[in-house]
Amino acid sequence: MTTKTSALDRAIQAIKGLSRADLIKLQSVIDTLLNEGYLDIDPAGYVEYKFITRPNGKQYGPYRYRRAWINGKLTSRYEGKADPGEYETWLKNRP
Protein backbone atom coordinates (compact mmCIF):
# COMPACT_ATOMS: atom_id res chain seq x y z
CA MET A 1 0.00 0.00 0.00
CA THR A 2 1.43 3.37 -1.01
CA THR A 3 0.83 6.51 1.00
CA LYS A 4 0.22 9.73 -0.87
CA THR A 5 2.20 12.62 0.61
CA SER A 6 0.65 16.05 0.80
CA ALA A 7 2.10 19.08 -0.94
CA LEU A 8 2.98 20.50 2.48
CA ASP A 9 4.90 17.34 3.44
CA ARG A 10 6.81 17.46 0.14
CA ALA A 11 7.59 21.15 0.64
CA ILE A 12 8.87 20.50 4.17
CA GLN A 13 11.10 17.71 2.91
CA ALA A 14 12.46 19.93 0.14
CA ILE A 15 13.15 22.76 2.61
CA LYS A 16 14.98 20.40 4.97
CA GLY A 17 17.49 19.73 2.20
CA LEU A 18 18.35 23.40 1.59
CA SER A 19 21.60 24.96 2.69
CA ARG A 20 21.59 27.93 5.08
CA ALA A 21 22.32 30.29 2.17
CA ASP A 22 19.40 28.86 0.19
CA LEU A 23 17.11 29.16 3.23
CA ILE A 24 18.04 32.84 3.53
CA LYS A 25 17.23 33.35 -0.17
CA LEU A 26 13.91 31.52 0.26
CA GLN A 27 13.02 33.68 3.26
CA SER A 28 13.78 36.81 1.23
CA VAL A 29 11.53 35.62 -1.63
CA ILE A 30 8.68 34.78 0.76
CA ASP A 31 9.01 38.14 2.53
CA THR A 32 8.86 39.94 -0.81
CA LEU A 33 5.78 37.98 -1.88
CA LEU A 34 3.97 38.73 1.36
CA ASN A 35 4.97 42.40 1.54
CA GLU A 36 4.12 43.19 -2.07
CA GLY A 37 0.83 41.34 -2.11
CA TYR A 38 1.74 38.64 -4.63
CA LEU A 39 0.76 35.92 -2.20
CA ASP A 40 -2.72 35.93 -0.75
CA ILE A 41 -2.71 33.99 2.50
CA ASP A 42 -6.36 34.71 3.28
CA PRO A 43 -8.19 31.36 3.52
CA ALA A 44 -11.09 32.99 1.70
CA GLY A 45 -8.84 33.13 -1.36
CA TYR A 46 -8.57 35.85 -3.94
CA VAL A 47 -10.54 37.22 -6.87
CA GLU A 48 -9.53 36.52 -10.45
CA TYR A 49 -11.16 37.88 -13.60
CA LYS A 50 -11.54 35.97 -16.84
CA PHE A 51 -12.76 36.66 -20.35
CA ILE A 52 -14.24 34.20 -22.82
CA THR A 53 -13.21 34.64 -26.46
CA ARG A 54 -15.28 32.88 -29.09
CA PRO A 55 -13.76 31.52 -32.33
CA ASN A 56 -15.21 34.50 -34.19
CA GLY A 57 -13.14 36.83 -31.96
CA LYS A 58 -16.03 38.21 -29.92
CA GLN A 59 -15.04 38.57 -26.27
CA TYR A 60 -17.34 38.24 -23.26
CA GLY A 61 -16.67 39.22 -19.66
CA PRO A 62 -15.07 40.05 -17.39
CA TYR A 63 -16.31 37.25 -15.15
CA ARG A 64 -15.32 37.17 -11.47
CA TYR A 65 -14.05 33.94 -9.89
CA ARG A 66 -13.05 33.28 -6.27
CA ARG A 67 -9.90 31.15 -6.16
CA ALA A 68 -8.82 29.42 -2.95
CA TRP A 69 -6.77 26.46 -1.77
CA ILE A 70 -9.04 23.92 -0.11
CA ASN A 71 -7.66 20.59 1.14
CA GLY A 72 -4.54 21.01 -0.99
CA LYS A 73 -6.42 21.76 -4.22
CA LEU A 74 -6.87 25.09 -5.94
CA THR A 75 -10.58 25.63 -6.40
CA SER A 76 -12.40 28.17 -8.51
CA ARG A 77 -15.95 29.40 -7.82
CA TYR A 78 -17.85 31.58 -10.29
CA GLU A 79 -19.15 34.75 -8.62
CA GLY A 80 -20.86 36.40 -11.58
CA LYS A 81 -20.21 38.93 -14.26
CA ALA A 82 -18.03 41.78 -13.07
CA ASP A 83 -18.59 45.44 -13.73
CA PRO A 84 -15.97 46.74 -16.22
CA GLY A 85 -15.08 49.52 -13.73
CA GLU A 86 -14.40 46.93 -11.04
CA TYR A 87 -12.12 45.05 -13.43
CA GLU A 88 -10.24 48.23 -14.38
CA THR A 89 -9.71 49.07 -10.69
CA TRP A 90 -8.42 45.55 -10.09
CA LEU A 91 -5.98 45.90 -13.02
CA LYS A 92 -4.62 49.20 -11.71
CA ASN A 93 -4.06 47.83 -8.19
CA ARG A 94 -2.35 44.59 -9.21
CA PRO A 95 1.30 44.34 -8.16
pTM of the model: 0.50
Among 3-7, 18-22, 64-68, the minimum mean pLDDT is found in 3-7
User: Per-residue pLDDT averaged across 50-79, rounded?
Assistant: 89
Distance CA 48, CA 76 (A): 9
First to last CA, the chain: 45
| pLDDT at 60 > cutoff 90 | yes
Count CB-CB contacts under 10 A for residue 64.
Answer: 19
Q: What percent of the chain has pLDDT over 90?
A: 34
What pLDDT, on a 0 to 100 scale, did the predictor assign at position 40?
47
Rg of the chain on CA atoms, in Å: 18
Instruction: For the chain, give every domain's residue range.
Output: 1-39, 40-95
What pLDDT, on a 0 to 100 scale, did the predictor assign at position 2?
52
